[in-house]
Amino acid sequence: MPDAARDAVIRRPQDSVDVAVEALGGTVVDGGLAQCDAPIGPMTTYRVGGCADIFVQLASASDLDRVALAMRSSGLPLLVLGRGSNLLVADRGFRGIVVSVAGLTETLEIDAASSVVASSAGVLLPVLARKTAAAGLTGFEWAVGVPGSIGGAVRMNAGGHGSDMAASLIDVTVADLDSQNGNVTQILRVDEIGLRFRGSALGPNVVVLSARLQLARGDREAAEREISEIVAWRRANQPGGQNAGSVFVNPVPGEVSAGALIDAAGLRGLRVGTAVVSEKHANFIQAAEGGSADDVQSLMRLVRDRVEATSGYALRSEIRLVGFEDE
């Protein structure tokens, strides 16, 4: 076949997967990085949803060299997965490569003298909140109730209780897999990553590896007391179980809340299949054990439409939808 004709052939998805697996050194069983048809929905806090064509659990940042090669050679899209606290994966799964940074936990350094904290991407936010408070540092207590990781928190500018990542972030170390040279690691200052409310300008093929935070010296007992109060408030006011926290952004922060609008529309307890609007907090959608991610998405859409019809407010989701045809 002539080169031009061969280049014009559209590679079948399985061919793309095979090419990517080869670039990743084969499957884990063979000593490579690839896990094929891996269930990633259960890796999220919703714990529902399908599989990824390929799943890679990073053991170190150097593994990204092969991930970059797999992307370039196969043309498959990439999804970076932290602790999955802000994702909903479709029942049909994700047709591409999923890279988990949850294993990148080797660095958690607290310099009490400078109040600077260095953390790898996979470190859990509640762990870091408690450790910094124990060291007598303040400014990160809010994170004790967020079940995510540092990497995901940077990408989504996670926040709560009047603060967010932007308030303390100094810089981040990232790997840019879109670079013409493959995996290129660089340090970006906080003003270079475009943090906004629950989002950033980081592209989908940029992997957050670590971050540095500037906190402040304070009273250890006061910091730990604030953490206890935040934990108690969340237990009293927010549901546990299978959810991803607040579903919709407050239309007018401090004035008009999404939860109040959903309540006013009479939607508390509304159910679609295996998904239900929480009775405890109307801006939470719960998934049943063994339930359907597609039910969750359908309920999100229904709530959004009914709130707009009754109030005129068009709610915007905080949840990242993965693998849905209309995401």
Q: Which of 265, 254, 251 is nearest to 314 (CA)?
A: 251
Question: Which long-range contacts (C-beta less than 8 Å, at least 24 apart) are formed by 23-26?
Answer: 23/66, 23/69, 23/70, 23/73, 23/74, 24/54, 24/56, 24/66, 24/67, 24/69, 24/70, 25/66
Residue 89: count of CB within 10 angstroms of its CB: 30
Give 32: exposed, middle or buried? Use CB within 10 Å, 0-12, 13-18, 19+: middle
Cα separation, 256 vs 252, whole angstroms? 5
Active site residues: 198, 246, 318
CA angle 240/245/250 to nearest 5° reads 135
Q: Which of 20, 121, 110 is nearest to 61 (CA)?
A: 121
Instruction: State how far the alpha carbon of 108 is from the alpha carbons of 83, 140, 232, in Å.
Output: 17, 14, 26
Token pair 């007598």 in the structure block, residue: 136
In order, the DSSP letters of 2-17 are -HHHHHHSPPPHHHHH
Q: Which helix (H) or strand (E) holds 267?
A: none
In order, the DSSP letters of 222-262 are HHHHHHHHHHHHHHHHS--SS--S--B--SBTTTB-HHHHH
Q: Which residues contact 205 (CB under 8 A, 6 or more apart)?
A: 71, 78, 176, 177, 178
In one-letter notation, the amino acid at residue 86 is: N
Q: Which helix (H) or strand (E) holds 58?
A: none
